[in-house]
Amino acid sequence: MVSVWGGERTQVHMGTLISARIADANLSDEVFTLFQDLDRRLSTYKSDSEISRLNREHEADVSPVTRDILKRSIEINRLTHGAFDVTIGSLSHGAYRFGTDERIPTQGEIDRLRRFVGADRLRLDKGRLRVLPGTVIDLGGIAKGYAVDLACDLVKRHGVDEAVIAASGDIGCLKECEVMIVDPFHPEGFIARIESTLPRFSISTSGNYERYIRTKEHNHLLNPKTGKSERIFASVTLMGEGDNTTLDALSTAVAVMEEKEALSLLESMPKIRYYLVRNDGRVIQSPLLEKWEGVRFSN
């Protein structure tokens, strides 16, 4: 989790606390309406959402925004060689039942349901979207970042160039903001303070220390290739200059990767900075943190 300091208005949408720090109160209302609308379209928990209808009927017409986020999801699936996969729903909802009657599935259940996971089971045809029977789309690893991007774009279209929009660990800043990265082992503490004066700063954190079943060994960060919870990192924080959508999805992917694979991916993307906290407490940070004009870091 990442915490933002300063006065803001808050509401609960998309299953989490959304905060908007904008001078114009009317714009805050528009931001909350945007999050509410996206939740109605993208939620796997709302039976009348576009995603739920697609999961249930296997084929559906959807709005441009739903098509766009699914297209982005497929692109990031390819970029991460399958570590990020929105077809994970048969495991996250069907096996572990995160967000409802949570449970630890047997290995047999995991093996049976894992065969429904794979980006090739989602088809974006010209007219309609299709998913193969048994596959369940779960956008939990990308939807909040996507919503933050749309909210920042909305604010800028109104001619406002200073704001902070936060959806749990996904935060978009316009101009000045201060962000603290929480210590996953001591949630009342922090491992870094970040001050940004960039026109657009983005940050996303995924961690195993808030959502889990019984113990952190059974956390919500599932590896699509194994069906098991992550084992390497306690938290993953990625930062960039815009595009919370990509950071949200990449932080989800990196969280389930082996360390060598994760660092190889991140080093191939020099515009992304990172803090990775291993489960043994060791912190791995981007060598580019000190060379980022407009962003200052302190411990």
Q: Cα(21)–Cα(3) distance, rounded to whole angstroms?
A: 13
**pLDDT of 78:** 96
Residue-wise pLDDT tens for the chain (299 aa)?
A: 333 334 489 999 998 999 999 978 789 999 999 999 999 999 999 999 999 999 999 999 899 999 999 999 999 999 999 999 999 999 999 888 888 888 888 999 999 999 999 999 999 877 689 999 999 999 999 999 999 999 999 999 999 999 999 998 999 999 999 999 999 998 789 999 999 999 999 999 998 767 767 667 777 889 999 989 888 999 999 999 999 999 999 999 999 999 999 999 999 999 999 999 999 999 999 998 888 999 999 87
- Amino acid present at 72: R
- Is residue 139 within 8 Å of 93, Cβ to Cβ? no
Confidence (pLDDT) at 127: 64
CA distances from 118 to 57, 114, 121, 147, 253 (A): 18, 9, 6, 24, 14
**Pair type for strands 283-285 and 273-278:** antiparallel
Q: Report yes or no: 187 and 209 within 8 Å, Cβ to Cβ.
A: yes
1.10.3980.10, 3.50.50.60, 3.40.50.970, 1.20.120.430: which CATH number matches 43-131?
A: 1.10.3980.10
Evaluate whether 189 touches 152 at the Cβ level (below 8 Å): no
**Spatial separation of the C-alpha atoms in residues 159 and 285, rounded to whole Å:** 35
Alpha-carbon distances of 189 from 2, 107, 183, 278, rounded to whole Å: 11, 36, 5, 16
Q: What residue ranges do the domains of the chain occupy? A: 43-131
pLDDT given for residue 188 in this prediction: 85
Predicted structure pTM score: 0.94
Contacts for 248 with CB less than 8 Å, ≥ 6 apart: 141, 142, 143, 144, 145, 146, 148, 170, 204
pLDDT at 218: 73
